[in-house]
């Protein structure tokens, strides 16, 4: 008996994190109150519609078009942010130049700037009579009040997510890794594609997922520059607000449920790709 008791005591290790049980309880309680209960309420309200009514409301032509615009523009903006966000993070990490601190601070500006203010500013710039729009209008290029304007707004609000996610990972990459690759005969393109990018892939996918999630649900910065034309530049969050103003709560609930399912599915796929990239390249594990 004493031997068994001694064995149990020997394998019982103290927790690395003090108060783990209390912290876990608070975390789960907060998660249930803030996330799970509202989502459960949304699905509970949707289940009360019945399959026939839910499908009729969720797959209405106007709803499908708004969902396509929301997810399509969010995906395009996230891809643009992934490319240019990585480049911007690389410049901020690898180079020293006058005004670097100012540019670094400007990256966080979309976090602090109210989205409505951003929308008004972008509309003023890209409208046909704006500073940039007046230059593009003679060329037949229209940004404001088109889906292209939505992409511009989503690029603006989503860029910091990619930069701030990739930047710390870049700072951990030692320059000696690049020098070793060059010593072994690799050119700059091979060094970037075979040495640097694999290590940045998990962080890049995380930034892409955050920018995409922000873009799908973005409202304030989009409604001013989009034009909000049904079947042309109407986003799903705006259509939900319209249905609520019409007191059509079942339709608003159905659209919200479809957005939630699609967003969760895409984020799940992105997380699976992240896990695969960590196993494949051995980073972030």
Supply the pLDDT for residue 150.
Answer: 95
DSSP string, 105-123: HHHTHHHHS-HHHHHHHHH
Query: Using alpha carbons only, what angle is made at residue 185 by residues 183 and 186, rounded to the nearest 5 degrees?
Result: 105
Q: What is the pLDDT of residues 108-118, one digit of tens each?
A: 988 888 888 99
Q: What is the pLDDT of residues 48-107, one digit of tens each?
A: 777 888 888 888 899 999 999 999 999 999 999 999 999 999 999 888 889 889 999 999
Q: What is the mean pLDDT of residues 224-248?
A: 89
pTM: 0.82
CA distance 284 to 89: 19
């Amino acid at each position: 008996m004493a031997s068994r008791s001694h064995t149990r005591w020997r394998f019982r290790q103290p927790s690395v994190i003090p108060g783990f049980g209390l912290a876990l309880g608070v975390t789960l309680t907060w998660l249930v109150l803030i996330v799970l209960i509202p989502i459960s309420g949304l699905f509970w309200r949707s289940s009360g519609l019945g399959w026939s009514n839910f499908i009729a409301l969720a797959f209405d032509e106007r709803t499908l078009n708004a969902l396509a615009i929301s997810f399509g523009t969010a995906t395009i903006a996230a891809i643009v942010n992934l490319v240019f966000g990585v480049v911007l993070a690389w410049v901020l990490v690898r180079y020293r130049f006058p005004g670097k601190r100012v540019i670094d601070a400007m990256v966080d500006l979309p976090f602090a700037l109210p989205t409505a203010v951003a929308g008004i500013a972008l509309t003023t710039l890209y409208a046909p009579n704006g500073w940039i729009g007046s230059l593009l209008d003679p060329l037949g290029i229209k940004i404001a009040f088109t889906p292209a304007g939505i992409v511009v707004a989503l690029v603006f609000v989503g860029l910091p997510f990619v930069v701030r996610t990739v930047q710390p990972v870049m700072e951990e990459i030692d320059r000696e890794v690049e020098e070793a690759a060059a010593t072994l005969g690799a050119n700059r393109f091979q060094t970037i594609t075979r040495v640097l990018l694999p290590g940045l892939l998990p962080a890049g996918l995380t930034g892409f997922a955050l920018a995409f999630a922000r873009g799908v649900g973005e409202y304030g910065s989009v409604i001013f520059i989009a034009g909000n034309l049904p079947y042309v530049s109407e986003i799903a969050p705006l259509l939900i607000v319209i249905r609520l103003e019409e007191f059509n709560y079942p339709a608003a609930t159905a659209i919200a449920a479809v957005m939630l399912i699609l967003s969760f599915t895409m984020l799940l796929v992105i997380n699976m790709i992240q896990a695969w990239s960590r196993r494949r390249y051995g980073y972030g594990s």
